[in-house]
Structure 1
Amino acid sequence: MRILFLTLSLLLLLTGCNPKPGGKIEAAQKLKCDQFYIREEEVEKEAISLAKKVSGVDDAAAVVLKENTKRKIVVGVKVSNFNRLRMKGIRKEIYDDLEAKYKDGEIHVSTDAKVYKEIETLQKKGTPGSKEESCNQKKELKKIEKDMKG
């Protein structure tokens, strides 16, 4: 009985600790960056001014990355006091304004304070000087988008 128990335990231990085949290859492919992403600072400024025009918005930050013909617009807004009660309406109004102006872009708007700070930090980094910086900014933007979705 002991021998059977030890054999099964050893078998489970060995099969449970084996790495997934191809796991390292998948990680390497995720890190691969083959494009230079362009920051469109003029569009960022326009998106910020559009967001600030909405009633209840204290401050706004935006990052716009363009790859090939696709434009990705990510806006974070700072809302305080009683305006926090109508955050959903504020988000929708900003989204509708941006969508009307930039039909070719993928637009994300957030009223979350943490996301706003992350977008503001990324915005302050400015235009990337190298391909590596460009890829890092793209990765940060993807992380922010993931945080926005929950």
Structure 2
Amino acid sequence: MKHFIAIIIGVMILGGCGPQAETIQPLQVGNQTIVAQEKADEAKQILLSMEEVLEVKGVVNEQGIYLAPRVKHFDRFHLNDIRKRGHENVAKRFPKETVHVSTDKKIYMELEKLEQELKKKTISEKRFSTKLKELEEKMKG
């Protein structure tokens, strides 16, 4: 009986310690919207390649690229470093663009809403620009 319990416990431990591969693909907005979003889609992939990043929301307009990564729980202690490295990686790929990266959860949620509105085509170009200006101010302050 003791051997049976030991085997069961061993199987439970080994089964629970396997790699937990979580593959989250960002929303690909593309060029089917009022403002083409291919640069934002590519920038999201760049941030997703960082091991600390779980998910990314982002949009682009003529003023720049706006990104908000969602970071793993234990990596939240290093938000400044993650933000800085993410900004450098995206700026290296898009040197002519102004890149804005924020790890603020509120910015993440706002960008998620904008992505959805762009995808569903329920936002005008004027309102989109206004929302991005508001977000840029929040990212600075």
TM over 0.5: yes
Distance 1:57 1:100 in 2: 18
**CA deviation digits over 1:80-120, x for unaligned, max 9?**
31100111111111101111111111110000001011011
In structure 2, distance between residues paired with 1:40 and 1:47: 13
* Identity across matched positions, percent: 28
Q: Is the 8 A contact 1:39 1:127 kept in 2?
A: no
1:44-101 per-residue CA deviation (whole Å, 9 max, x = no partner) reads 11011111111211110111002xxxx4100011113110011111111110111111
Q: Partner of 1:99 in structure 2?
A: 91
- Return the TM-score normalized by structure 2: 0.70
Which segments of 5 or more consecutive residues in structure 2 lack a partner in the other structure? 1-33
Alignment length (residue pairs): 108
1:139 is matched with which residue: 115, 130, 133? 130
Partner residue of 1:126?
118
**Cα RMSD (Å) of the superposition?**
2.0
Q: Distance in 2 between matches of 1:123 and 1:94?
A: 20
TM-score (norm 1): 0.66
Which has a greater percent of strand?
Answer: 1
Q: Tell me the residue number matched to 2:43.
A: 47
Q: Structure 1 residue runs of 4+, over 4 Å off?
A: 127-130
CA distance in 2: counterparts of 1:129 and 1:80, whole angstroms? 31
2:57 maps to what in 1? Answer: 61
- What is the alpha-carbon distance in structure 2 between the residues aligned to residue 147 and residue 61 of structure 1? 16
For structure 1, list consecutive stretches of 5 or more residues without a partner in the other structure: 1-37
